[in-house]
């Protein structure tokens, strides 16, 4: 990571909470490691980042984040290898993306050296929270919230950038059933879908609840105007294998430009798998399911890495997907994890030592 | 208001801050009255509402509201008449709407008696913060935030319903210049535009900033799919007067069903003004501006009541609007305020005594 002169102010915990945690039985996102980072934007400037024990903070009820959802976030992971070294996966992508999200939400961008100096220090302090072993990681959640007090509907003049972390096991351990969206939608053309804007996620909870009531796990969002093209899932990009070709939607202003997605596209190229990055029509996928040409659907994202879709519902019909030999999904998941856990060579220089 | 058995727990302030406030020089939303209400949803139930001195609260950085924008709000006003009585304007509309918003955001609905019993008590305690005189009011901001700790992207199991209030003077005191949206958009079909969801507002700050940099005050949003139809402004519905007809878009799942809008439609009917509630095309309005048939555009919302648009930009051309004799906008503003301040008869029973 970058060398930098900025150093966060550190207040270390007195007593670690680590002994109270059952690492073999973690609910995703519920337990936080000992420390967190915060950095306030005041009078047009980011102040010195502070690392302090994880815990509640004081905030006024009139803070703009509560009223106007002026907030963005990121999701990344630290992995521990067999030699107890801690690695990040393409962290510069997350750094660039949070600033892209911030820009769209009228939030001031965060300086690169502040980000990496704080992250590095935070991981060093909490390195015991990063556990070895397949599927284990420390989930890292950078986020920014609007903290100006005042309920007028305009951008805040104060912000807080924070990083909190949570030890995590594999996110989805079983294949999921999905539904292709026909009524609700996730993002508008000209909207904020490409940003990790807080409001994009809360807006999905209700349609997802309806899907769950039908026995389905997640929604594959389609374009809001026509519902004819498959775009992405709530927290994952989505791939379709038709015959031996791998299809995925091009990114646009409604779709998050996922790090896992772009890494899989690269790995496919490295391994002579044909990838077609073009609009994926619902009709084409439904027909391929009927004809048996649709071999796989899988989601790709930091939290889940790769998750197999076992079937989808569309137009009230549920389509089972076959179980194929040597699935692409399994191959990409293993290839990514081999790189993330530093078990193989890393030809693209994706992994970065955390400290 | 409804009689009710539920009574909020009250902790009164020791010393009012009211003497420190310059009521003739208020910035909208910046000053809060002495008390606030909060009510937590825990284990599937809304607990007893509490009224306490306004001030900061403790909340964990992992609370879902910060990450997923699972939050909704309302905006309403209390007015004081010449006899020092305090009035609300169609408060049942705001109550119903916050629950409609909550439903779309997968937030549990709030009980009617809890809402009105708390609001009533809050206004009674802070009645000195409601000032008499044209344009003066106490702005009331009910809102709900997701307070479960944990960064998994699913709906919260804890919430906090709050009411804070701010003394307010007239919101916009001068006419505004607007731009018709051609690139950015506010809401998707099948999205959350019809809800007062926090994320809808933060998403508008950046495009609005761009508009401001061009010397324009606000954006009139068009439909996201085609940008051919005029829908609403950021915090106001919008009316067009072409000849003697009043046009406004019908509500749909992208547009907020405004209380001011529906009151103006009723007042227009009461006063034999022809109202056309149909899709309003950009082309039609631009042509009417060119031919001189476009007499007025005005925005309508609780914060602003009615605000005159003095001109609009579209396709890089700025169109000035004429100043007409006896504008509809002025008439509706006066009619509404006469009712709100209890200066005239209220044939539709819109005003409700606050306590
Ligand atoms: C909407 C959305 N799509 C896709 C992804 C996957 O992106 P990444 O692979 O960078 O985690 C995420 C999660 O980060 C997401 O929130
Ligand atoms: C998006 C939007 N449109 C319209 C309005 C006007 O609604 P009302 O008249 O109920 O205040 C508001 C403000 O409340 C709003 O936020």
* Average pLDDT of every residue of chain B: 96
pLDDT at A123: 98
Residue range A179-192: mean pLDDT, rounded: 97
Please name the residue that has the structure tokens 């939050």: B71
The partner residue sitting opposite B153, judged by closest CB among A38, A143, A235, is: A235
Instruction: Decide if B63 contacts A166 (C-beta within 8 A).
Output: no
The Cα angle at residue A249 between residues A277 and A214, in degrees rounded to 5: 145
Q: Relative to the alpha carbon of B264, which ligand is closest?
A: 2
pLDDT category at B5 given cuts 50, 70, 90 is confident
CA pair distance A155, A170, nearest whole angstrom: 37
Catalogue all structural domains in chain B, each as residue range(s) with its CATH number.
9-169 (3.30.470.10), 176-340 (3.20.10.10)
pLDDT category at B216 given cuts 50, 70, 90 is very high
Look up the pTM and report it.
0.97
The partner residue sitting opposite B69, judged by closest CB among A27, A155, A199, is: A199
Task: State the Cα torsion A51-A57-A63-A64 to the nearest 10°.
Answer: 50
Residue range A243-268: mean pLDDT, rounded: 98
Residue range A279-308: mean pLDDT, rounded: 97
**Tens of pLDDT, residues B136-184:** 999 999 999 999 999 999 999 999 999 999 999 976 568 999 999 999 9
What are B269's two structure tokens?
């009917």
CA pair distance B172, B190, nearest whole angstrom: 32
Element (H, E) at A72: strand A71-73
Q: Where are the alpha helices (DSSP H) in chain A?
A: 64-68, 91-104, 112-125, 198-213, 259-270, 282-291, 328-340
CA A10 from chain centre, in angstroms, equals 27
Is the pLDDT at B2 greater than 90, yes or no? no
Report the gap between the CA of B75 and the closest CA in chain A (Å). 10
Q: Could you give phi then psi for residue A237, rounded to 5 degrees?
A: -80, 170
Q: Could you give phi then psi for residue A79, rounded to 5 degrees?
A: -120, 145
Residue range A315-333: mean pLDDT, rounded: 97
Q: What is the DSSP letter of A90?
A: S
Name every residue whose Cβ is closer than 8 Å to that of residue B199 and which is 6 or more positions away in sequence: A68, A69, A192, A197, A198, A199, A200, A202, A203, B69, B71, B192
Q: Relative to the alpha carbon of A198, which ligand is closest?
A: 1
* Average pLDDT of every residue of chain A: 96
Are B188 and A190 inside 8 Å of each other by CB?
no
Is the pLDDT at B1 greater than 50, yes or no? no
Is the pLDDT at A173 greater than 80, yes or no? no
| Percent of chain A residues topping a pLDDT of 70 | 98
**ipTM computed for the complex:** 0.97
**Tens of pLDDT, residues A265-288:** 999 999 999 999 999 999 999 999
**Tens of pLDDT, residues B217-271:** 999 999 999 999 999 999 999 999 999 999 999 999 999 999 999 999 999 999 9
pLDDT category at A23 given cuts 50, 70, 90 is very high
pLDDT at B231: 98
SS3 state of residue A148: coil
Preferred mutation among A139, A153, A157 to probe B, highest tally of B CBs within 10 A: A153
Report the gap between the CA of A240 and the closest CA in chain B (Å). 24
CA of A146 to the centre of ligand 2 (A): 22
What are B191's two structure tokens?
């999205």
**Tens of pLDDT, residues B297-347:** 999 999 989 999 999 999 999 999 999 999 999 999 999 999 999 999 999
By CA distance, what is B153's nearest residue in A?
A201
pLDDT at A172: 57
pLDDT at B171: 65
Q: Where are the alpha helices (DSSP H) in chain B?
A: 64-68, 91-104, 112-125, 198-213, 259-270, 282-291, 328-340
Residues of B in contact with A29 (CB under 8 A): 62, 150-152
């Amino acid at each position: 990571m970058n060398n930098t002169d900025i150093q966060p102010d550190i207040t270390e915990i007195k007593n670690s909470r680590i002994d109270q945690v059952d690492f073999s039985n973690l609910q995703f996102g519920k337990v936080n490691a000992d420390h967190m980072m915060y950095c306030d934007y005041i009078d047009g400037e980011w102040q010195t980042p502070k690392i302090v024990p994880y815990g509640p903070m004081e905030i006024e009820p009139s803070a703009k984040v509560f009223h106007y959802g002026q907030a963005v976030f990121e999701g990344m992971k630290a992995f521990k290898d067999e030699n107890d070294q801690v690695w990040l996966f393409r962290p510069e992508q997350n750094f660039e993306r949070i600033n892209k999200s911030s820009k769209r939400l009228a939030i001031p961008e965060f300086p690169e050296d502040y980000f990496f100096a704080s992250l590095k220090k935070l991981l060093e302090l909490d390195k015991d929270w990063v556990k070895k072993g397949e599927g284990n990681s420390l989930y890292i959640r950078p986020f920014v919230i609007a903290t100006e007090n005042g309920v007028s509907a305009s951008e805040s003049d104060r912000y807080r950038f924070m990083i909190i972390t949570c030890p995590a096991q594999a996110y989805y351990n079983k294949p999921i059933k999905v539904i292709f969206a026909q009524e609700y939608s996730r993002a508008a053309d000209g909207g904020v879908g490409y940003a990790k804007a807080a409001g994009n996620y809360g807006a999905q909870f209700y349609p997802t609840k309806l899907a769950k009531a039908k026995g389905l796990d997640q929604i594959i969002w389609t374009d809001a105007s026509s519902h004819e093209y498959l775009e992405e899932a709530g927290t994952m990009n989505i791939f379709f294998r038709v015959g031996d070709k791998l299809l995925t939607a091009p990114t646009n202003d409604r779709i998050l430009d996922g790090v896992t997605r772009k890494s899989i596209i690269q790995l496919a190229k490295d391994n002579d798998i044909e990838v077609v990055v073009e609009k994926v029509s619902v009709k084409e996928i439904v027909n391929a399911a009927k004809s048996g040409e649709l071999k796989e659907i899988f989601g790709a994202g930091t939290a889940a890495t790769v998750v197999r879709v076992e079937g989808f519902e569309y137009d009230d019909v549920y389509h089972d997907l076959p179980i194929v030999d040597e699935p692409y999904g399994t191959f990409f998941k293993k290839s990514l994890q081999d790189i993330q856990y530093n078990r193989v060579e890393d030809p693209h220089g994706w992994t970065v030592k955390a400290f």
